[in-house]
């Protein structure tokens, strides 16, 4: 793979951002989004954190149609990165914006480092916005009925009395933010300066297996040279 300049990488990233901003609707209704994923073959339509899965699924379709020089994205073990331009590997993340550092969970740390070794650069496009929550439980009830028979994890939670997390019923897309790591040196500087942090170390999955360490990006602390942002998002019609 040819070595690309930072300016060329930024151009490819801006091309992706412009494609997403021109095609994605700005208002995401949870029921419509889940139904869209289910009807179009997305295996993650049952996930409660539908905002991120919807952005990944629909955003990927937009990029595949719009970017002419795309290629098969990098994978490592059971970690698949979302999209790849001619010279840049991308991940897509949906995110309810918060005040302060605003951490965005990202990929497996070992896979990210391997991506730099094989691909040279990595970027994360974040769909940031505000959420309306399912205060009366109607969205959860609808989603549960659509899913049918509860999983073993859900049944175990019902027995143990595990508390339910609030679900997002709607999401308004306000900004598209791209964080670009032009080389592994940017990752190391991010870790040193505190705008990239590891997390999940020592945590376990629902089945008791240990979780792999991941990186999270603190949006409010990312330096401007690693940031591209499209704000004042305009209403786009749903397709």
> Which tens digit of pLDDT belongs to each residue from 155-169?
554 445 545 678 999
Q: Which among 127, 139, 117 is positioned nearest to 187, based on CA atoms?
A: 117
Is the predicted pLDDT of residue 127 greater than 90, yes or no?
A: yes
Q: Does the residue 239 lie in any domain?
A: no
Instruction: Output the domain CATH number for residue 174.
Output: 3.40.600
Q: What is the C-alpha to C-alpha distance for residues 157 and 43, in angstroms, rounded to an integer?
A: 23
Structural domain includes residue 235:
no
Burial class, 78, CB count within 10 angstroms (exposed 0-12 / middle 13-18 / buried 19+) = exposed
1 found inside a domain:
no
Please report the pLDDT score of residue 69 as a whole number: 87
**Is residue 191 packed enough to be buried (19+ CB in 10 Å), middle (13-18) or exposed (0-12)?**
middle
Domains: count for the chain: 1
Alpha-carbon gap, residue 133 to 168, rounded angstroms:
4
Instruction: Give me the pLDDT at residue 211, please.
Output: 77
Residue 122 lies in a domain: yes
Grade residue 98 by pLDDT with cuts at 50, 70 and 90: confident
Helical ranges in the chain per DSSP H: 6-23, 30-39, 50-66, 109-119, 138-147, 152-160, 184-193
In a domain, 41, yes or no: yes
SS3 170: strand
**Residue 184: domain span:** 6-230
* pLDDT, averaged across the chain: 88
Q: Is the residue at 236 inside a domain?
A: no
Say if residues 126 and 104 touch (Cβ distance below 8 Å): yes
Residue that has been written with the tokens 């999209």 in this structure: 83
Residue 199 in any domain: the answer is yes
Residue 48: is its pLDDT beyond 60? yes
């Amino acid at each position: 793979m040819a070595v690309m300049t930072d300016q060329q990488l930024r151009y490819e990233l801006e091309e992706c951002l412009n494609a997403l901003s021109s095609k994605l609707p700005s208002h995401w209704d949870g029921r419509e989004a889940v139904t869209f994923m289910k009807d179009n073959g997305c295996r993650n339509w049952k996930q409660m954190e539908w905002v991120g899965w919807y952005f990944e699924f629909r955003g990927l379709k937009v990029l595949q149609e719009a970017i002419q020089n795309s290629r098969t994205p990098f994978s490592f073990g059971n970690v698949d990165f979302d999209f790849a331009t001619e010279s840049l590997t991308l991940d897509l993340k949906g995110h309810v914006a918060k005040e302060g550092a605003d951490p965005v969970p990202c990929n497996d740390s070992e896979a990210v480092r391997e991506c730099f070794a094989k691909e040279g650069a990595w970027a994360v496009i974040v769909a940031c916005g505000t959420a309306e929550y399912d205060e009366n439980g109607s969205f959860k009830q609808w989603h549960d009925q659509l899913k049918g028979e509860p999983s073993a994890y859900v049944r175990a939670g019902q027995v143990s009395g595990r508390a339910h997390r609030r679900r997002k019923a709607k999401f308004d897309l306000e900004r598209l933010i791209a964080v670009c790591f032009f080389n592994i040196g940017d990752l190391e500087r991010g870790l040193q300066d505190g705008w990239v942090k590891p997390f999940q170390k020592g945590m376990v999955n629902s089945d008791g297996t240990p979780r792999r360490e991941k990186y999270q990006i603190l949006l409010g602390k990312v330096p401007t040279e690693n940031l591209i942002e499209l704000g004042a998002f305009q209403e786009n019609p749903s397709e």
